[in-house]
Amino acid sequence: MEKFLLFLSFKTLQVHLNQSCKEKSTEISSSASTAITTLYQEIFGKKTEYSGPAIMGFYNDQIIERLLQDVTFFPIYIKIQSFLVVVSNIGYSKNNGCCGAGNGFTSSILTKFQKKHSFVSQRIENNTCILRIYYESNIVAQFEDETPTNV
């Protein structure tokens, strides 16, 4: 069985796929599907194109069950208008201003900030709500307050 490694570059917000058995890899791609298709075509010399989730077996309940076997938490994806919010960690609090979220809570989105594609992270640490905006792996803005609304 061939093994594939998928890398996401936060510097460029692009996908890189590395096929570890034959020591081949793709150039930086804009999506997992493009990276998988390019690498497949290089390895097998065929023009077949694949959707990332399909080739990774996400349609197969047995594969999904195996992937989630030892996972105690998996990200929650919430679509709000044109934004996809990813909740990657949950913490609990009795602070009404935090709507039940507490220390450890982490969410993120990819959006434009000052006309540049940026990674936005919101988290709660030491009962402080922190919003950080990253561009090319650097923090370009940070806001802190007691509640997410105030941030």
pTM (2 decimals)? 0.53
Identify the pLDDT of residue 9: 52
User: Quick count: other Cβ atoms within 10 Å of Cβ 149?
Assistant: 10
C-alpha dist (Å) from residue 139 to 8, 49, 95, 132 = 18, 37, 27, 7
Mean pLDDT of 7-13: 51
CA distance 15 to 9: 6
Instruction: Give yes or no for a contact between 122 and 142, defined as CB atoms under 8 angstroms apart.
Output: no
Nearest to 50 by CA among 77, 79, 17: 17
**End-to-end CA distance of the chain, in Å?**
48
Edge-first strand order for the sheet with 138-145 is: 76-80, 83-89, 106-113, 116-125, 128-135, 138-145
What is the mean predicted confidence (pLDDT) over 28-43? 71
Q: For residue 1, what is the DSSP state?
A: -
pLDDT category of residue 121 using cuts at 50, 70 and 90: very high
What is the separation of C-alpha 16 from the centre of its chain, rounded to a whole number of angstroms? Answer: 13
The pLDDT confidence band at residue 21, using thresholds 50, 70 and 90, is very low
Domain ranges of the chain: 4-67, 76-145
Q: How far apart are CA 128 and CA 145, in angstroms?
A: 6
Q: Tell me what pLDDT residue 66 has.
A: 77
Q: Which of 2-16, 40-54, 97-111 has the highest mean pLDDT?
A: 97-111
Output 59 or 112, whichever has higher pLDDT: 112
For residue 12, what is the DSSP state? T
- pLDDT for 51-102, tens place per residue? 556 656 666 788 777 777 777 777 888 888 878 888 888 888 887 788 888 8
pLDDT, position 102:
87
